[in-house]
Amino acid sequence: MVSTKVDLCGMTLDNPVMAASGTFGYGYEFAELFDINMLGTFSFKGTTLEPRFGNPTPRIAECREGMINSIGLQNPGVERVIDEELPKLAKCLHKKVMANIGGFSVEEYVEVSRRLDKCDQVGWLEINVSCPNVHGGGIAFGTDADAAAQVVAAVKEHVSKPVIVKLSPNVTDIVAIAKACEKAGADGISMINTMLGMRIDLKKRKPVVANKMGGFSGPAVFPVALRMVYQVYEAVKVPVIGIGGISTAEDVIEMMLAGATAVQIGAMNLVDPYICKEIVEQLPVTMEKYGIGSLSDIIGGAH
């Protein structure tokens, strides 16, 4: 009998498989398809202080082995998330959820975190300093070690739940940013968010996405994400959540060998809404195939 349990910041996950923010809504939409309690947990749609309509359309461009999105942090705002979305989620998820938090100022990150920290359902706060699709927020904080650390330190002062900071791959030295966030008090690092990319429509001779550029994700980014997780694992002591192009149980194991304590599945949820379920079901069989008795024993095993 294999064990898929892992510990994430003092809380046990039944397995390391989470759905990534922005690809799983507020969970109840997917609960119509399968029992979402079979997941480790998931990170809900990035939430800001005020409601946001998001970027102009088209916001999606298909690519070989992935996709580009430029959603622009569309969400109903923290008040409605707490009053309307979380109660709907409570009916179908009986474990803690990860709250993903976006912002345009340090104060906004703090205020949204403070409010979500008070919600019983929320187990972890994932601070998104890496959205590439908005101006003056998200990635503007995540590409500068001092700015990212400032957000983390300010949030930590006002919350009691573990703070996980979601990092951008669109930087020269992700290790320096991860270390600055750890020093500022981050309890974990999730990485990577999407890579800035674009497509051009040959007939129109114009960018496919209205915002011209967007975040590229999907199986093609897996080796890049794996490399970055490997590097960051060597530099920090806090847990790392590996994200980027994961589409099989083998990918989960590979990411854990690189140093991930847990993983998030993103783009593939949009291709196959059952992908997380399938990966969770495949994990024990795949562990047996590679002689793994306990997943928590293999974290960082490739170092």
Handedness of CA 297, 240, 278, 197 (dihedral sign): negative
End-to-end, the C-alpha distance of the chain in Å comes to: 26
Instruction: Fill in the DSSP letter of residue 26.
Output: T
CB of 104 to ligand SIN, least distance (A): 13
For residue 260, the Cα-to-chain-centroid distance in whole angstroms is 13
Residue ranges that bind ligand SIN, judged by CB under 6 A: 22, 46, 69-73, 128, 130-133, 193-194, 215
Return the active site residues: 131
Least Å from the CB of residue 151 to ligand SIN: 14
189/257 with CB nearer ligand SIN = 189
- Cα 280 from Cα 275, distance rounded (Å): 9
Q: For residue 63, report the phi and psi dihedrals to the nearest 5 degrees.
A: -140, 165
Looking at beta carbons only, is 162 or 244 nearer to ligand SIN? 244
* Rg of the chain in Å (alpha carbons): 18
Phi and psi angles of residue 260, each rounded to the nearest 5 degrees, phi first: -75, 135
Q: Is the separation of the CB atoms in 268 and 218 below 8 Å?
A: yes
Q: Cβ of residue 174: shortest distance to ligand SIN, in angstroms?
A: 15
The least CB distance from residue 54 to ligand SIN, in Å, is 7
Min dist CB 115 to ligand SIN, Å, is: 19
Cβ nearer to ligand SIN, comparing 18 with 71: 71
Pairing label, strands 163-166, 188-191: parallel
Give me the least distance between CB of 84 and ligand SIN, in Å please.
19
Structure-block tokens of residue 163: 């703070």
- Eight-class DSSP state of 20: P
Nearer CB in complex with ligand SIN: 216/230: 216
Minimum CB distance to ligand SIN smaller for 15 or for 70: 70
* Residue 58 preceded by cis peptide, ω within 30: yes
- Closer CB to ligand SIN, 40 or 103, in the complex: 103
One DSSP character per residue, 225-265 reads: HHHHHHHHHHH-SS-EEEESS--SHHHHHHHHHHTEEEEEE
Give the three-class secondary structure for 143: coil
Residue 233, token pair as written in the block: 């694992």
Q: Using CA atoms, how far apart are residues 156 and 167, in angstroms rounded to an integer?
A: 17
CA distance 42 to 39: 7
